[in-house]
A and B are shown apart, each in its own frame.
Chain A
Amino acid sequence: MNTTLAIAGIVIKELYRRKDFYVLFVLTALITVLMGSVTLFHDTHIVRYLKEMCLLLIWICSLVIAITTTARQLPMERESRTIFPLLAKPVTRTQVVLGKFLGCWLACAVTLVVFYLFFGIAAMSKEHHWPLTNYFQALTLHWIMLGIVVAMALLGSLVFSATSSNVTISFVAVTFILLLGRHLDKVAMQIPQPASGALQALFFTIPHLEFFDLRDLVIHDWPPVRWLVCLKAVAYAAAYAAFFLGAACLLFRRKAIN
């Protein structure tokens, strides 16, 4: 565990010494502040649109950070040859994969805390209340969802030869799941076999990332989700992340690195 944590620490250090995070945060903050300063049609509920836009930006930024940070980890280690002195130490390849996963996932947590803190302050300045439970649930499940995305991008970095293709494919897959994933079974019922069967199979195979999307809860101040449901979502995410990580470990162990 000590080795895994040491490798994770390097990933986190890399994140805060690069400019990506700061650029995305400043961009989100700037857009939110600009939108907040405008009064459209004297609508008293305008704050909901502001919250919706801000949360959408946070989701996009978090996915950008999670996918781009993860996708470059193992290829960069190989390209810059830092993997050689690392594996020459008493480190297993499984520990490297787990360290990279943990590092990227924890880096996402740090990012989300900063973004949600900003969101909370921006929303409170308009609404004068702060539903902490809703925010906590939204942030936690968002972070849990990013665990699946990080594990998937890590596996992609071992499957696809170029980082850019992994990033593109991961983005397309995540966007597809988030936008269309929930409708696949309905579409399947309207088309003939065997396409219907294939679509049904796809519906039950893909990780349903939309389960973790609690933006509406925060935007409309709905009552919090039951904790048991949250726990089930965590177990669901853990199963998918474990599957992707297991496959990544197997692939990395078989990969020649010379």
Chain B
Amino acid sequence: MNADVSEDRTRAAAKPLVGGGMTPAVGPILRIENLCVDYRPRGSLSPGKRAVDGLNLSVNQGEVFGFLGPNGAGKTTTMNVLLGFINATSGDAYLFGTTVREPIARQRIGYLPELTYYYKFLSAEELLRFYARIFKIRKTETERRIDQVLKLVELEHARKRQIKTYSKGMQQRVGLAQALINDPDLLILDEPTSGLDPIGRMKVREIIQRLKTEGKTVFFSSHELGEVETVCDRVAILDQGRLKLEGRVSDLAEKHQLSLEQLFLKVVGYSLPSATHLPP
């Protein structure tokens, strides 16, 4: 009884601006304002490295947003701020209108890290039950959602096996399942297809597209530009901590008359050699 009341309270607290149900959408689901993050070397007086420099970004409800950039561009740092792992040096970020400094801001999000490591001594079912308990989901609802997400990620057959016996692709899919257990309105995926074989990638892509048709908002970083082009509504390209380009995928392609890959290379300042010498 108390858990139910508490769930209602947390849900109500986390839904001030947007979302389904009876609350009308009045603003972006994800908002980043003048975000700056500095990494200072430990025990040193040197200024360190500015990983994110004055980033402004917003993601609306129902969008699939691609967050692109070369390695070290500041994508993961931005995600770490969004998830409350690190604090911003200046500026702020908001999820559903609540500052990310408040844990309640994460009540309605699902997160899939780049490298998925979960408690390997647990089975998929136990892991999902654990996370559902954190979200204060009722027991009957938990069992229903576990069935639902395991079916979605095609892990029903292995639900009682310990995660240590899973292949990498299966671990990635159990990661997606845990990100979906609370039926989130916003999914933050950090390179969800990293290290997967073509079939695994296809399956993850299918899941993202299915979530898109269900009206979920997806914010994801990836190096697979073809995949981003297929799945995303809008993209942002980050380089050396700064936002270089942002817009709808179709608009950008039309405006620049370039594919997303060519545009990406141009934006990050990589010039293709004029003549490519291939070995005989």
Contact = CB atoms under 8 A, between A and B. Distances in A.
Nearest to A16: B121
B78 to A, nearest CB: 11
B122 A10 contact: yes
Contacts of B120: 80
B111 A85 contact: yes
Nearest to B37: A258
Nearest to B3: A2
Interface in B111-160: 111-113, 115-122, 126, 130-131, 133-136
A87 interface: yes
Contact of B119 (A14, A89, A256): A14
A168 interface: no
- Interface centre among B3, B118, B188, by most chain A C-beta atoms within 10 angstroms, is B118
A10 B131 CA distance: 11
Contacts, number: 79
A90 B121 contact: no
B133 A82 contact: no
A84 interface: yes
A82 B109 CA distance: 17
Contact of A10 (B107, B119, B178): B119
Contacts of A86: 134
Contacts of B179: 85
Interface string A160-184: 0000000000000000000000000
A257 B85 contact: yes
A3 interface: yes
Given A6-B130, A10-B119, A88 B86 contact: no
Nearest to B10: A90
6 contacts: A81-B115, A84-B113, A85-B178, A88-B106, A90-B107, A258-B85
Given A17-B121, A258-B85, 18 more contacts: A2-B3, A3-B134, A13-B121, A14-B119, A81-B115, A82-B117, A82-B118, A84-B83, A85-B175, A87-B85, A88-B109, A88-B113, A89-B131, A89-B134, A89-B135, A90-B103, A258-B77, A258-B86
Interface of B: 3, 6, 10, 76-77, 80, 83-86, 103-104, 106-107, 109, 111-113, 115-122, 126, 130-131, 133-136, 175, 178-179, 182, 188
